[in-house]
Chains A and B, each alone.
Chain A
Amino acid sequence: MAGKKGSKSGLREALAGLVGPDAVSDSREELEVYAGAGEMPALVVRPSEAAQVAELVRLANREKLNLVPVSSGPPHIHGGSWPLKGSVIVDLSGMRRILRTDRRNKVALIEPGVTFGQLQEAVEPLGLRVLKPLMPRANKSVIASALEREPITIPKYHWDMNDPLLCTEVVFGSGEVFRTGSAAGPGTLEQQWAEGHAQKNPLGPAQSDLVRVVQGAQGTMGVVTWATVKLEVKPQARRIYFLRESDLGKLIDFSYRVLRPKQTDEHLILNRWALACMLSEGAEEAARLAEKQAPYTLIYTLSGYEYFPQERVAYLEEDVGRAAQVSGVVPEREIPGVPLQRVWEMLDRPCSGRYWKERVRGGWREIFFITTLDRVPRMMEVMGEVLKRHAWPREEVGVYIQPMQLGRNCHLEYGLFFDPEDADAAAKAEGLCREAAADLADAGAFFSRPYGGWAEVAYSRCPDTVKALRMVKDMLDPGGVMNRGKLCFQEVG
């Protein structure tokens, strides 16, 4: 950078020196993809290996840059990676290597650009399945999803909030490279494999668990360059069931009964609009399909594994059926207007083509948080009041309830869909979501993933947490080079 220090061309040159000239761009067209509702970044840089990432972060410290890590392809939805003006986007989506799969230990070691579809294709022939969120977009990064703590659809495999993430290599904002969990060392990965290890223990090293402060951090603490993710056995027998109900309370009661003994595999609740939207190609089809659905549908599956799979499904069917009876609900084997195959795809595959939320009307706003199943009815009341105030048709709000941590709490998500050309509708949705976030938080909603404006809602309620998080941020990113302005780190950098 001699002679050009501080200039954009000098910076570009320096970055090109690290990753090669073809991996750096300042094309406006390319940069707009990353801007989202944020500001225009200065450059995008596309490293192809972990060592380059560490060099980038060290350069950022020397040059006081703001790095914004991005692993998934567009659109960038939640705002965690929407940059401040002049930022350098570190696009990891080209780091797409599956470095190792291990059938015996049910684990994959992957780079950040690996998508759900890609991983699924690699592990299914081994008889394994990927733990994934409901209908992720086709270019969604597995690691990004896990770092964002997106809920997976099988609560019995969600033992703790960091599942299915296991071990990571992370370049902290300081430029130091660290490995978490049992990957931490002693030994290189190759040496560890030779001794029978598989980077499966997410804890540590030693007496801290720094992966947990990288998770949920929206790239403000560092950049993950590889991770191991937990996989599970692909069932050899599997049946799907639907509970179609107008009384959400009955579905919640049923959920408590069967989640506690870990009887169901996939287990989630959708209202008729959410279900219809997920299974349709557009708003008209969704409207037609929604008419045929019950107000709420609980979808669950029962599985059998290697040994006597049909017998496992059969006894579970009886036991779960009994729980349904006690809760006053009736399991059905299909839902009206939809071939079963399509529902299986919804559960098993990432979105093909356009993201399902985009397909409905083009634009959408969503609001999601953590609560418990028994608090869901209260949250529905609060949201109902907000919708009423904003005259938003209640029947066109998608509701998705995903039990987590074996049913101890749940992800509750509302989706509002609109025509992005309709400025009034977009503004209305924006205002509604802002107001709803505040009201719901007052009622106890926990914004565990506080994107954009939710950060203010979430952090205004926990000043002690903010103080401790800033201490952690100072420790791991003392130069403030990682994704400035996010979470509670507005003034950092």
Chain B
Amino acid sequence: MSVEEARREFVELLGEENVSWEPAVLDCYAWQPTFNDDPDRWVKRPVAVVLPSSTEEVQEVVRICNRHGLRFKSFSTGWGAWNGPTFDNVVQVDLRRMDRIVEIDAKNMYAVIEPYVNGAQLQAEAMKVGLNTHIIGAGPNCSPLASATSGWGVGHDSIYMSYSARNLLGVEWVLPDGEVLRLGTLGSSGEWFNGDGPGPSLRGIMRGSCGALSGLGIFTRCALKLYNWPGPPEMEIDGIMLDAKMEVPENIGYYMCFFPDRKAFSDAMYKLGEAEIAYNALATSFGGYFDILTPRLFRKIEHADSIRSMIVNTFKYTLAILFAANSARELAYQEKVLHAIVREHGGFAMDVTRIKDFFSMLFMSFVRATIPALVFRMGGSFSTALDRNDALDSQAAWREVVREIKEGYIRKGQILDDLADNPYFVPYENNTWCHCEVVYQYDPRDPKHREALEPIFLDVTIAAIERCMEPLFTSDPRVRRLISPLAGNFSKYQQAISRGLDPKQAADNTLYSAEADFDFSGIDPQRVRRLQEVVEQRRW
């Protein structure tokens, strides 16, 4: 391994201005606070940071890593600690110079983008031609390429615009040996309109529910499906975020619906899916809104049981639903169906477009998913109980399970009080299947909170296995080792894919193929026993 030689070659390839090994610069990459309970465990300082500007340069960077026994880890818009290195000899490949929307094919409804294009940019350009892009729940600052090829992919708009992984067409993929693999039509004719075949689809080894998080190479361009946008080509807005002011665009409907209980909520959600009327749909608790919009107020009322009780019990089953209709006739029909369904299930629907200031505050945060960024306001950080998605009923049950787990920790002051019930609940593809994760917020400066993170993580993992769910943080080597034998030994296949595509193991693949044991020292033995029991009960 020759780090010095590699650095020299990077400079030759990219120029001095696009390569750095300055400690201060490296530490900027090493400091990844989000989803980083323990900086020592997750993020190491890279040996160099390089900024390629083209596929060819990415290939050459990867080849240099291969030649010098280094590993590489790519970074697009970089949301979460999983973007950082996990070994000591990693070159951080920052893709920020690859920021072009290469093409929007308005007729065939797709865009070809590079890694550093973010959701907001792509959405703004797509809307100009009557289209829209799926934006993940983490927000419009994230790279749609990264979530589609390498990360997860749920968003408020999933009822209409699916999951990031399912929105891929052609893909350009620099493999860990530096060769380029082009998926689908791109590999055959240079066109982007299809990502599968000929024959078996290599999308199957590229990613699954979760992506390889750079453990299988670097994605340099991809075609993403765009969806119909009947709203205005440009939004007229004054102010930003919660201070935004705007008029209600033509043929847009926006409702908050409230249901009396879980059954009514779930039954209504099934009906809404079958009616095929929604453009965006996000179920959460009303407490979840308060918590995000007014975190300071929330911290003041956390011991006021009567207020808590009122909010929890009155507004628990809340659904925000957006209509983006192609005509006034369509909007009228959609609203009529919504009212009928809500009424039938004992709920009530509040027309948000009639409360202009509230509409202004929430509309873009809904269409562009800007509001989740506010989740950091309450305590500075958060984590989430994320399981494998399936039928809505299973997800509705998951919400209750995690709420109960959270309540115990809230009572002990080990996480922040967000009323416990704080789901991000989203149906996909007209409720073909559904997503529910439950957020928990904490203050990373508080040792008591930090100490609770591992026990919560274990409790949630136990609960997920009990309920036949794969915890979606199987990117964690400890969870991978635990869950893989319960799910067809998937880890074995991932390791084989890794060896096949990456003979020199040049990719930083800890989050893709490594396995590790949990460290149970300091964990309540009863909890550990319970984990072992559920693992035995859930083999097939």
Contact A209 B488 (CB under 8 A): no
User: Does A212 sit at the interface, judged by CB under 8 A?
Assistant: yes
**Beta-carbon contacts under 8 Å, A275-312 to B:** 305-308, 311-312
Task: Evaluate whether A159 and B107 lie within 8 angstroms (CB atoms) in the complex, with A207-B212, A446-B198, A447-B198 already known.
Answer: no
Q: Which of B41-49, B89-97, B177-185 participates in binding chain A?
A: B177-185
- Please give the distance in Å from A295's CB to the nearest CB on chain B: 23
Report whether B200 and A214 are in contact in the complex, using a CB–CB cutoff of 8 Å.
Answer: yes
Q: Which of B18-26, B60-68, B163-171, B291-299 contacts A (4 or more CB under 8 A)?
A: B163-171
Cβ–Cβ contact B389 & A465, under 8 A: no
Which residues on A sit within 8 Å (CB–CB) of B392?
105
**Stretch binding the partner chain, chosen from A198-206, A350-358, A391-399:** A198-206
Give the distance to chain A from B451, nearest Cβ to Cβ, in Å: 28
Q: Are A207 and B211 in contact (CB under 8 A)?
A: yes
B405 touches A (CB below 8 Å):
no
B337 part of interface (Cβ distance < 8 Å) = yes
Q: Does B487 contact A (CB under 8 A)?
A: yes
Measured between C-beta atoms, what is the minimum distance from B2 to chain A in Å?
29
On chain A, the number of residues with a Cβ less than 8 Å from chain B's Cβ atoms is: 95
Measured between alpha carbons, how far is A200 from B337 in the docked complex, in Å? 25
**Does A216 count as interface, using CB distance less than 8 angstroms?**
yes
Q: Which positions in A face B, CB cutoff 8 Å?
A: 104-106, 149, 159-162, 176-179, 182, 184-189, 191-192, 195-201, 203-218, 220-221, 230, 233, 256, 260-263, 305-308, 311-312, 315-316, 318-319, 370-374, 405-409, 441, 444, 446-450, 455, 458-459, 461-462, 464-465, 468-469, 471-472, 474-475, 487-488
A206 and B198 contact, Cβ closer than 8 Å, known pairs A187-B540, A191-B538, A307-B341: no
Residues 346-403 of B contacting A (Cβ, < 8 Å): 388-394, 396-397
Is there contact, CB below 8 Å, between A471 and B500?
Answer: yes
Cβ of B276: which chain A residues have Cβ within 8 Å of it? Answer: 262, 305
Chain B 444-488 against A: per-residue CB contact (8 Å), 1 yes, 0 no? 000000000000000000000101111000110000100110111
Q: Which residues of B contact A464 (CB under 8 A)?
A: 179-182, 187
Check A216–B187 contact: CB distance below 8 A.
Answer: no
- A407 to B432 CA separation, bound complex (whole angstroms): 20
The closest CB in chain A to the CB of B469 belongs to: A186
Taking CB as reference atom, which chain B residue is nearest A252?
B107
A315 touches B181 (CB 8 A): no
Return B154 CB to nearest CB of chain A, in Å: 11
Give the interface segment out of B136-144, B311-319, B490-498: B490-498
| A197-B394, A201-B389, A206-B474 given; A308·B336 CB < 8 A | yes
The majority secondary structure among interface residues of chain B is: mixed
Q: In the complex, what residues of A have CB within 8 A of residue B109's CB? A: 260, 406-408
Q: Are A315 and B330 in touch, CB under 8 angstroms? A: yes
Is A182 a contact of B433 with CB atoms below 8 Å?
Answer: yes
- Cα distance A311–B203 in the bound complex, in angstroms: 41
Query: Which of B9-17, B115-123, B189-197, B413-421 participates in binding chain A?
Result: B189-197
Instruction: Indicate if the CB atoms of B468 and A195 lie closer than 8 Å.
Output: yes
Q: Are B490 and A205 in contact (CB under 8 A)?
A: yes
> 8 A-B residue contacts at CB 8 Å?
A161-B196, A196-B391, A204-B388, A205-B388, A207-B212, A207-B213, A408-B109, A446-B189
Decide if A213 touches B397 in the complex (CB within 8 Å).
Answer: no
- Closest Cβ–Cβ distance, residue A413 to chain B (whole Å): 16
Q: In the complex, are the beta carbons of A209 and B487 less than 8 A apart?
A: no
Evaluate whether A184 and B470 lie within 8 angstroms (CB atoms) in the complex, with A206-B209, A207-B475 already known: yes
Q: Known contacts A159-B429, A197-B390, A211-B204; is A203 also within 8 Å of B165 by CB? A: yes
- Which of chain B's residues has its CB closest to A177's CB? B488
Give chain B residues whose Cβ lies under 8 Å from the Cβ of A318. Answer: 327, 329
Partner of B188 from the list A149, A188, A462, A487 (CB cut-off 8 Å) is A462
B208 sits at the interface (CB 8 A): yes
Select from chain A the residue with minimum beta-carbon distance to B474.
A206
Q: Is the CB of A408 within 8 A of B484?
A: no
Please pick, from A162, A201, A218, the residue contacting B388 in the complex, using a CB distance under 8 A: A201
Check B493–A210 contact: CB distance below 8 A. Answer: yes
Q: Which of B200, B209, B225, B332 contacts A405 (CB 8 A)?
A: B225
A306–B275 CA distance with the chains assembled, in angstroms: 7
Q: What residues of chain B lie closer than 8 Å to A106, measured between beta carbons?
A: 274, 432
- Which residue on chain B has the smallest CB distance to residue A405? B225
The residue of chain B having its C-beta at the shortest distance from the C-beta of A316 within the complex is B330
A212 with B200: CB separation less than 8 A: yes
Tell yes or no: B307 within 8 A of A by CB: no
- Inter-chain contacts of B59 with A (CB < 8 A): none
Q: How far, in Å, is B175 (CB) from chain A's closest CB?
A: 8
Contact residues in A for B391 (Cβ distance below 8 Å): 104-105, 196-198, 200
Q: Given that A161-B196, A260-B109, A308-B336 are contacting pairs, would A215 and B201 also be in contact in the complex, using a CB cutoff of 8 Å?
A: yes
- Residues from chain B with a CB closer than 8 A to the CB of A311 are 333, 336
Cα(A197)–Cα(B211), bound, Å: 23
Q: Is B228 engaged at the interface, CB distance under 8 Å to the other chain?
A: yes
Q: Is the CB of A217 within 8 A of B199?
A: yes
Question: Is B126 at the interface (CB under 8 A from chain A)?
Answer: no
CB pair A215 B200 closer than 8 Å: yes
CB neighbours (8 Å) of A407 from chain B are: 108-109
| B residues adjacent to A (C-beta < 8 A) | 107-110, 130, 162-163, 165-167, 169, 179-185, 187-189, 191, 193-213, 215, 225, 227-228, 230, 270-271, 274-276, 326-327, 329-330, 332-333, 336-337, 340-341, 388-394, 396-397, 429, 432-433, 465, 467-470, 474-475, 480, 483-484, 486-491, 493-494, 496-497, 500-501, 512, 535, 537-540
Q: How far is the CB of B437 from chain A (nearest CB, A)?
A: 14
Select which of B206, B337, B467, B469 is within 8 A of A308 by beta carbon. Answer: B337
- Give chain B residues whose Cβ lies under 8 Å from the Cβ of A206: 208-210, 470, 474, 480, 483-484, 487, 490-491, 494
Question: Would you call A468 and B433 a contact (CB within 8 A)?
Answer: no
| Minimum CB–CB distance for B119 against chain A, Å | 19
Q: Are B433 and A448 in contact (CB under 8 A)?
A: no
**B474 contact set on A, CB distance < 8 A:** 205-207
Question: Contacts A196-B393, A408-B110, A462-B187: A185 and B487 contacting too (C-beta < 8 A)?
Answer: yes
- Closest residue of chain B to A442 (Cβ to Cβ) is B189
- What chain B residues lie within 8 Å of A447 (beta carbons)? 197-198
Q: Contacts A205-B209, A464-B180 hold; do A187 and B389 have CB atoms under 8 A apart?
A: no
Q: Which residues of A contact B275 (CB under 8 A)?
A: 305-307
Query: Contact at B200–A216, with CB atoms within 8 Å?
Result: yes
B496 A475 Cβ-Cβ under 8 A: yes
Looking at the assembled complex, report how far the CB atom of B42 sits from the nearest CB atom of chain A, in whole angstroms: 18
Contact of B433 with A200 in the complex, beta carbons under 8 Å: yes
B185 nearest CB neighbor, chain A only:
A446
Inter-subunit contact B166/A159 (CB<8 Å): yes
User: In the complex the two chains form, is A488's CB within 8 Å of B199's CB?
Assistant: yes
The complex places the Cα of A75 from the Cα of B200 at a distance, in Å, of 24
**Which of A213, A233, A307, A409 is B202 in contact with, Cβ under 8 Å?**
A213
Residues of chain A within 8 A of B274, CB atoms compared: 106, 233, 305-306
Question: Given contacts A203-B165, A207-B208, A468-B181, are A161 and B194 in contact (CB under 8 A)?
Answer: yes
Knowing A195-B467, A208-B207 are in contact, say whether A459-B189 is a contact too (CB < 8 A).
Answer: no
A209 to chain B, nearest CB (A): 5
B333 pairs with A179, CB closer than 8 A: no
Nearest-neighbour CB distance to chain A for B145, whole angstroms, equals 17
A18 to B392, CA, bound (A): 40
Cβ contacts under 8 Å, B493 to chain A: 178, 208, 210, 475
Expressed in whole angstroms, the Cα–Cα distance for A55 and B169 within the complex equals 37
Which residue of chain A is the closest to B491 with respect to CB atoms?
A: A206
Is A185 a contact of B486 with CB atoms below 8 Å? yes
Contacts of B201 in A (CB 8 A): 161-162, 212-213, 215-216
Most A CB within 10 A of own CB, among B341, B432, B489? B432
Complex partner residue of A319 from B208, B326, B337, CB under 8 angstroms? B326
B200 pairs with A217, CB closer than 8 A: yes
- Name the one of A189, A205, A307, A370 contacting B488, with C-beta atoms under 8 angstroms: A205
Top 4 A-B residue pairs of the complex, sorted by shortest distance between their CB atoms: A212-B204, A187-B468, A186-B538, A204-B209
